Amino acid sequence: MSIRRRLVGLVTATALLVSAAPALATDTQPLALYVNGRELFLPQVPILKENRVLVPMRAYLESLGAEVGWEPPDLVTAALGGRTVQLRIGEQTALVDGRSVPLDVPAQLIEDRTYVPLRFLSEGLGATVEYDGEAAAVTVQTAPPGQLEVIDGPLNVRQSPSTSSPILMTVPLGTRLEIVTEEPGSEWTEVLLPGGLRGWVANRYTRTLGSQPVVEPFLPILEQRAFLQAGGQCVGAVPIIADLTLVPLAETMRALGGSLERTEDGAGMRARLSGRELMLVPGSVEGWLDGQLRILTAAPVVVGGRPFVAARDVADIFGLPLSWSDATHTVTIGEAGTVCNPPAAAKAYIMMDAATGAVLSEYNARDPLYIASTTKIMTALLAVERGNPNSVVTVSSTAASQPGTSVYLRAGEQRTLGELLYGLMLVSGNDAAVAIAEHISGSEESFAWLMNQRAAELGARNTYFVTASGLDDWVDPYSTAEDLAAIAQHALQNPRFRSYMYPTQAVIPGPWGNRQLTNSNLFTLRYPGATGVKNGWTEKAAYTLVASAWRDGREVLLVLLGAPTRTELYSQAYNLMDHGFILAGQSWLLN
């Protein structure tokens, strides 16, 4: 058995049915636990024992988004953000990134559960811990990722900390850059660029990223999902398990105007709404409404420290109307409000948070469709991952003779890879696409194989690339809105990729003078806060678009496929993106 295994991979319909919390020993005190501002409702509660805070190992590590491993009979391994902790039950020392560290309290078994010391485990994984004795609460902040985010762009990354220093790269709003050195009070920060290159950015145009809500434990259970409207807002994507729509209880109660709190013994939860009180225990179908027994449709389950209950139980118990829409895949508790999945004059779309991949809205997002020149996102991603932007590419006759949109490359012409990438992303040059493919893999056919391999690595399971350009006259490539979003979301994490997708114009040399390249993506040119990404059209695909935009510290990613006209494409994109920022502000995953 691998010692490093993501715990959420074990979450299935049966594994979710956790047992109720065991009765605590008489010398322990239950505590409330908060991670990055969210109270955790763990199946087994944290306890204060012998003046030390202990937490249930597996449930806590899952809520943190850590990888957890277990080697019988007693070895525990946890990994988070590049840091690793190993400890054995009952031993007074542990390993932090291979270094031996003494423990004042060892990991131990309590009521047949493995409990570990909270402060040591959290700080060993890079988090900070604060204990409030009066409130009987512990607060954990996971370590920020050591990144800057561009808040005023485009931003020049320079060779040295000076405005007169040569520019290494220019990146748009929302770009995240890894910090190398950050001196307090300094006006500049050194950052790491792709390929190991280092540069400097002016601090007044960036902010240091702080700890974010942990979403990793929830993404696997949202593979099968619906969307929840409650209290007049779209709470967001929620899991469907065993044909039941489950809703996050704490956030649903707040949206409905109620509350959720832990019971005094820490073993259950108390939901209050409209003067009524419901007592629940994870793993039990027995609930108590105002002291009267109620049998639930399904037992509440806890994933990532969040309790989930069946939507129909919330509605039935508190006397609220419940409705379901097959068209929008939305369950509504109470009155309808913000629409989760608005209608679209296109075949499919999806919106997600660009930083986390949390889905905000979708329509036919898993339908295989033609995607036209949005294919070039993968072409550009592979080029920046595997190529050097300064390397010289000799254009073949095959590349120069490509039909459709073009940079007007000539056979035998030599251009740098970086220049070809501007031609690829700004004017959608099919000739540039094939020249890049041949440079990276030797032939377009070999490059297409590489594209499919990379797509599979990124979780795009229903995608088939045939060409580097997206031309589909004689072949049948396809992808889905969801797959294309997964590819684009990963690409947006690469500053080098971003540097080629957003400029209004670029100039590259040609045999008879400079070529003036003007960005053909009207979304990038016209939408406030737009950062990219790529548009496309073929007769088979109709009009397609992958768009990203940054607003109030958040970036939203939109994929829109099969719009009937160019006007409809951009009109729908502007409306959906506006709506996406509203949904991001209401999402239970992000707030």
Instruction: For 360-391, write each residue's pLDDT tens digit.
Output: 999 999 999 999 999 999 999 999 999 999 99
Q: Is the dihedral of CA 55, 60, 66, 69 positive or negative?
A: positive
Instruction: For 137-165, write each residue's pLDDT tens digit.
Output: 999 999 888 999 999 989 999 999 999 99
pLDDT computed for residue 478 by the predictor: 97
Which of 10-24, 63-77, 467-481, 490-504 shows the lowest mean pLDDT across its residues? 10-24
> Is pLDDT of 25 > 70?
no
Which H or E run includes 113? strand 113-117
pLDDT computed for residue 28 by the predictor: 58
> Is pLDDT of 184 > 80?
no
Active site residues: 373, 376, 428
Which of 80-84, 278-282, 504-508, 518-522 shows the lowest mean pLDDT across its residues? 80-84
Which one-letter amino acid corresponds to residue 152? D
Instruction: For 393-428, write each residue's pLDDT tens digit.
Output: 999 999 999 999 999 999 999 999 999 999 999 999
pLDDT computed for residue 1 by the predictor: 32
> Is pLDDT of 212 > 70?
yes
The CATH class given to the 5-141 domain equals alpha beta
Tell me which of 482 and 132 has the higher pLDDT: 482
pLDDT computed for residue 336 by the predictor: 86
What confidence category does residue 14 fall into, taking pLDDT thresholds of 50, 70 and 90? very low
pLDDT computed for residue 10 by the predictor: 31
pLDDT computed for residue 467 by the predictor: 97
Which H or E run includes 572? helix 566-586
Q: Is the dihedral of CA 223, 229, 235, 236 positive or negative?
A: positive
**Beta strands at 330-333 and 505-508: parallel, antiparallel or unpaired:** unpaired
Q: Is-contact 264 24, C-beta < 8 A?
A: no
CATH code for the domain defined by 238-333: 3.30.457.10
> Is pLDDT of 11 > 70?
no
Tell me which of 62 and 238 has the higher pLDDT: 238
Please give the mean pLDDT across all residues of the chain.
91
What confidence category does residue 19 fall into, taking pLDDT thresholds of 50, 70 and 90? very low
pLDDT computed for residue 334 by the predictor: 93
Token digits of residue 116:
């570990």
Domain boundaries, the chain: 5-141, 147-208, 238-333, 348-586
pLDDT computed for residue 236 by the predictor: 97
For the CA atoms of the chain, what is the radius of gyration?
Answer: 26
Which of 28-32, 108-112, 383-387, 576-580 shows the lowest mean pLDDT across its residues? 28-32
Bridge partners, 309 (sequence order): 247
Tell me whether domains 5-141 and 348-586 share a fold: no
Instruction: For 90-112, write each residue's pLDDT tens digit.
Output: 999 999 999 999 988 899 888 88
Cβ-proximal residues to 363 (8 Å cutoff; 6+ apart), any chain: 328, 341, 343, 344, 346, 348, 349, 350
- Side-chain-facing half-sphere of 246: CA atoms under 13 Å: 24
CATH code for the domain defined by 147-208: 2.30.30.40
> Is pLDDT of 308 > 90?
yes
What confidence category does residue 242 fall into, taking pLDDT thresholds of 50, 70 and 90? very high
**Residue from 495, 451, 494 nearest 469 by CA:** 451
Q: Is-contact 55 118, C-beta < 8 A?
A: yes
> Is pLDDT of 321 > 50?
yes
Mean pLDDT of 524-547: 96
3-state secondary structure of 502: coil
Domain 348-586, CATH among 3.40.710.10, 3.40.50.1970, 3.40.50.1220, 3.50.50.100: 3.40.710.10
